[in-house]
A and B are shown apart, each in its own frame.
Chain A
Amino acid sequence: MTKKLNPGRFLAWAAMIVVILATVFPFWWMVRTALTPAADIYTDNLGLLPEHPTLINFLRVLGLTSEAENRAAGGSGAQLDFAAYLVNSIIYCGLIAALQTLFCAMAGYAFARLRFPGRDLVFAIVIAALMVPPIFTLLPNFVLVKDLGLMNTMAGMVAPTLLMTPFAVFFLRQFFLSLPRDVEEAAILDGNGPWGIFWRIALPMSRGPLITIGLTTIVWAWKDYLWPLLVGRDEDNRLVTVALGVFLQQSPNTQPDWTGLMAASTLSVLPVLLLLVFVGKRLVQSLNFTGSK
């Protein structure tokens, strides 16, 4: 491989830069609009920076302004509280990621390392659920959550994914299968039962895959829309994604409240952006795991 900058490499880098710009620019424009006063969007719409930068849009979607100020800034006057929606989303993701990962690790471990009659059959049945499209179970699950009286509760929202997804069981079992047997046997000689081995040996040895599945679960839960839209419409349990949809429909006139919407959109990206900054390397490496295995 030659590393000197010949015309080919120059062109390749140029193409790469175009790709990066195309990836980043829409986000730039989102933040840029969020910092623009509503009155300016008719006139100031091509410059890379707003002519009169303001924080008013962020303040109003965070519920820090009065109704009159909202109207003056181009909003509907409806009170929004994206701080609360962010907290709801974080609770939702945290609960699902933590418990689903733990429970699926337990099951994956049992399927991989414990011996009991019916093991392969039970595993095959659980894995068969991978083939069922989510919308198929979504309709009856909606009825079920309604019948259980869990509509508009956090419990109803997390219920279907809190305990398991077939993919996580499958993924973690794959990993536990590859744990060396002699470590396990040494632990048995030390007087550990299955629970002790799982907790003290298997889990610490599987930090990589556990973090992979945990992070992936957080990302998917953060993006969830349809299910929380159906069972979590109430203000108290509304997630960021659902709130964005509701906000869009609340627009005062024919034109959506773009500056407010972009401020809210920016807030919805912020937590995952922080995730990317702090565990970006992990996240990127996790694709090598899930992608090619």
Chain B
Amino acid sequence: MSSTKPRDDRRAAWWFLLPVLVGFAVFYGYPAARGLWYSVTDYTMLNTPSYVGAENYTKLVQDEKFWNALLVTGWYVVLNIGSQTLLALGIATLMHRLTRSVVLRATLLLPWLVPNVTIGLLWMWLLDTNLGFVNQLLHTVGWGPVGFFTDETWAMPTVAGINTWAYTGYTALLLYAGMLQIPQYLYEGASIDGAGEWRMFRRITLPLLRPVLALVLVVSLIGSFQIFDTIAVTTKGGPVSATQVIYYFIYLQAFKYFHMGYAAAAAVFLALILGVLTAIQMRLLRASRSDLA
């Protein structure tokens, strides 16, 4: 095509974009602006929002429950990301060195497909203090029943463990996909040189996987800050406030106490935290691109 003036599809383009732009304006742009506005108002969903300046924010930083929520979320993120990443890395390596079976991969993907609500219920039953399978099993080896969800020290590790169970397979498959891009001859060469599996893992797999690993890590980090469903079904933030994560805190403020303005301020705070994490992710994304080139 050698038309003299540059092609201009502006009329067609706006028609192509129309649904997405309407969806964006109505359900992303407008609510984001409105959320910011709520965060500086006193709003209960029954009154009209009235401007109160920074009041919600100053109340927030003095609110013990809010700091507890951040702390609890942090504890969850550390537990969940730590166990999930290590396990996933192990599983991905095993698969990479053993098999390409699609059936196996599909099986590992199964927990990821299931609603968190179902997973919460399922584990509530398995870990039930009196009748649950796990406690029955512990009983037969002479260990007393553990209140996995009702004991303050156990509740958070339990929730983190459940979500590790739910998402490790998925994470492992992402890492495995990354490992498939590592040239096979590197392993063959190392094998001829007499390198063992552990050495190959440390010298080949880990360094070459680093960009993918970093990306997966940050994405699941951002995801785990937003844990809600499992908590809402199992512990409801308890016992006391041991599992009252930030998402649940915001949910309670908005839909139980109807402090919409206050909840919006907490949501802004969370958005800031996630914004920083996303910025890190962007940097890693750029780093990973140059690494693979």
Contact = CB atoms under 8 A, between A and B. Distances in A.
A1 B109 contact: no
Interface stretch (B29-37, B59-67, B70-78): B29-37
B122 interface: yes
Contacts of B26: 144
Majority-rule SS of A interface residues: helix
A133 to B, nearest CB: 5
B16 A114 contact: yes
B4 to A, nearest CB: 15
Contacts of B181: 292
Nearest to B128: A258
Contacts of B140: 46
B275 A280 contact: no
Contacts of B214: none
A109 to B, nearest CB: 6
Nearest to B3: A188
A169 B98 contact: no
Nearest to B22: A163
A12 B94 contact: yes
A46 B137 contact: yes
Contact of A140 (B20, B31, B173, B247): B31
A272 interface: yes
Given A42-B131, A226-B228, A110 B114 contact: no
B21 to A, nearest CB: 8
Interface string B214-235: 0010000000011011001100
Interface in A241-257: 241, 244-245, 248, 255-256
Interface stretch (B5-13, B50-58, B150-158): B5-13
B1 A164 contact: no
B106 A276 contact: yes
Contacts of B275: 131
Interface size class of chain B, counting residues whose CB lies under 8 Å from the partner chain: 35 or more
Contacts of A200: none
Given A19-B91, A265-B118, A226 B229 contact: yes
A63 interface: no
A144 B103 CA distance: 45
A272 B12 contact: no
B147 interface: no
A281 to B, nearest CB: 5
A137 B32 contact: yes
A183 interface: no
Contact of B270 (A42, A133, A195, A222): A133
B263 A241 contact: no
B10 A117 contact: yes
A45 interface: yes
Contact of A103 (B19, B114, B188, B254): B19
A276 B111 CA distance: 11
B98 A13 contact: yes
A205 interface: no
Contacts of A180: none
B278 A131 contact: yes
B118 A136 contact: no
Interface string A1-20: 11000001100110110011
A126 B102 CA distance: 36
Interface in B111-125: 111-118, 121-125
Contacts of A130: 278
A258 to B, nearest CB: 5
Nearest to A272: B113
A241 B110 contact: no
Nearest to A103: B19
10 contacts: A110-B17, A117-B10, A139-B267, A169-B20, A195-B15, A222-B113, A245-B117, A262-B122, A265-B122, A276-B106
Interface of A: 1-2, 8-9, 12-13, 15-16, 19-20, 22-24, 26-27, 29-30, 33, 41-42, 45-46, 103-104, 106-107, 109-111, 114-117, 119, 122, 125-126, 129-137, 139-144, 146, 159-164, 166, 169, 185, 188-189, 193-195, 198, 219, 222-226, 229-230, 240-241, 244-245, 248, 255-256, 258, 261-262, 265, 268-269, 272-273, 275-276, 280-281, 283-284, 287-288, 290-292
Interface of B: 1, 6-10, 12-17, 19-24, 26-32, 34-35, 38, 45, 90-91, 94-95, 97-99, 102-118, 121-126, 128, 130-131, 133, 136-137, 140, 165, 169-170, 173-174, 177-178, 180-181, 187-188, 191, 197, 212, 216, 225-226, 228-229, 232-233, 247, 250-251, 254-255, 260, 263-264, 267-268, 270-271, 274-275, 278
Closest 9 CB pairs of A and B: A163-B23, A140-B31, A110-B16, A107-B20, A291-B174, A280-B106, A140-B34, A116-B10, A103-B19
